[in-house]
Amino acid sequence: MKNINKKVWIVLGIILAILFIFIGTLAFIINGDKICKNTYVNEINIGELTKDEASEKLKNIYNVEDIEFKYNDKKFIILPKEIDFSYDIDKTVEQAYSFNRKGSFIVNAKKTIDSLRGDKNTFKLSISYNEDKLKSYIESLSKNINISMKNASISIENSNIKIQNEEEGQTLELDKSLNNAITELEKGNISINLVVEEIQPDVKAESLEHIDTILGTYSTKFDSSVAGRSHNVALAAKSTSDVLLLPGERFSYNEYTGARTISNGYKNAPVIVQGVVQEGVGGGVCQVSSTLYNAVLYAGLEIESIKNHSIPSSYVPKGRDATVSYGSIDFIFKNNLKYPVYIKNSVYGNTLTCTIYGSKEEKQKIEILTNTDSVSEAPIKKVDDPTLPKGEEKQLESGRNGYTVSTYRIYKDNNGNELKKEKVYVSYYPKKQGVVAVGTMDTPVVEEPQTPPVAEVPSDEIDSPNDTTVNQEQQTESVVEEQVTTNP
């Protein structure tokens, strides 16, 4: 029994001795002057080196003279001092040295044991740089990298359709390139790839090749002698022209014309405001929207937002006008067709023409029909006017009848047979009261003046040569002369 107990104590003693030796060895390693085994800076092993030895080794390797940025075959060189760049080797080594020394003994011992067993501990290089300067430099490279993307485009001159091919674009991704530069420099790489995004065109030439015919066109006339209105018509026509609408895309009239302001180039001209014609900036833009509306109707495009004027327009029939007001009333339509459509407007003399081009595969035979559903006669209000003679009338404000008009789009086959009848919109033009002044002034009666009778002279007295007769004759002639002169 004593021999067994002795053997147990011997074994326990050996275990304790080994444990103390192991713990002592760990303590020696942890408290020693060498970096933990299997410690790397990027791919450089600095394990089991002193801090001085590790610093010297890293400084010999990471001795940067310049930094290279590149994209494809383009290369750009910058000196480290231009961005205040340097490797902080001493800080990096200190971080590596502190790996198994900054925690509790148990934590440090575990890290040391794992390292001795082969676990790899990797550190990035500590770097110092001016981020603003680095970002500014990378941003400056964009002028050598960026290429504007160009969609395929179409132009129409004298009915000749020309298509320009698309061009791919590219743009330097500033933030991604900056992050990549920092990551690579921390790895010790001084040749850095810039991050560039390829930009694919939205519109390709192959999709425009289907635009080969006129789907719908409409023309209206305007008074070219009204300078402001003529200017606004031309400006609005230009801003809504040369527009390509891909399938499913919407056209907003207000979006293309912008606010009708002096700063946007519009001038004063007659406009309708709450049913009254008055001077305002942008008068004439509604003629363009109405003309375009009719072209869109004939093209068979989908109308999404439309509103008529409060007064029937002179340039289009009732039920076929489209009023607009920036910020409140818009004319919106959608390309509901399979292929793209192209809007082309023109102004020649006093004629405005809007045309929708598209694919001959989608050309439709369309007739536009309007029906006057009801007419409301304008009421007349009579007011007394004491300045007019009694019973006499004078028009002060002209009245206007009210109308309700339905607009239809009729689709026909090649033989003229009706395929479909679509009710597009119901226009309501409110009536306006007329005002007539009626005279109430009494007219005074003016009497005609009467001519006094002329005295008759006997013939024998006229013929008498005596002085009395002559004097009487002279007196009579004087009276007659006076009466003739004063008779009105």
CA dist., res. 477 & res. 457, Å (int): 10
The answer for residues whose C-beta is within 8 angstroms of residue 150's C-beta and 6 or more apart is: 164, 166, 167, 169, 201
Per DSSP, the three-state class of 305 is strand
For 323-358, write each residue's pLDDT tens digit.
999 999 999 999 999 999 999 999 999 999 999 999
**Antiparallel, parallel or unpaired: β 67-71 and 191-193:** parallel
Q: What percent of the chain has pLDDT over 70?
A: 82
Residue in 279, 267, 284, 265 with CA at minimum distance from that of residue 223: 284
**Predicted confidence band of residue 470 (pLDDT cuts 50, 70, 90):** very low
Are 166 and 204 in contact by the 8 Å Cβ rule? The answer is yes
In CATH, 365-446 is 2.20.230.10: yes
Q: Is pLDDT at 279 greater than 70 in this prediction?
A: no
Mean pLDDT for the stretch of residues 244-268 = 92
The pLDDT assigned to 479 comes to 32
Q: Is pLDDT at 395 greater than 70 in this prediction?
A: yes
Task: Identify the residue with better confidence: 52 or 157.
Answer: 52
Q: Is pLDDT at 191 greater than 90 in this prediction?
A: yes
Q: What does the domain layout of the chain look like in residue ranges?
A: 25-160+173-195, 210-363, 365-446, 454-488
CA dist., res. 28 & res. 208, Å (int): 79
For 397-438, write each residue's pLDDT tens digit.
889 999 999 999 999 999 999 999 999 999 999 999 999 999
Per DSSP, the three-state class of 283 is coil
Count other C-beta atoms under 10 Å from residue 62's C-beta.
19
**Predicted confidence band of residue 111 (pLDDT cuts 50, 70, 90):** confident
The pLDDT assigned to 29 comes to 66
What end-to-end distance do the CA atoms of the chain give, in Å?
Answer: 177
What's the Cα-to-Cα distance from 265 to each of 46, 257, 481, rounded to whole Å?
72, 10, 78
Task: Identify the residue with better confidence: 16 or 139.
Answer: 139
Residue type, 113: I
**Least confident residue range of 56-60, 286-290, 447-451:** 447-451
Mean pLDDT for the stretch of residues 184-212 = 92
**Least confident residue range of 164-178, 253-267, 362-376:** 253-267
Q: Is pLDDT at 278 greater than 60 in this prediction?
A: no
The pLDDT assigned to 476 comes to 34
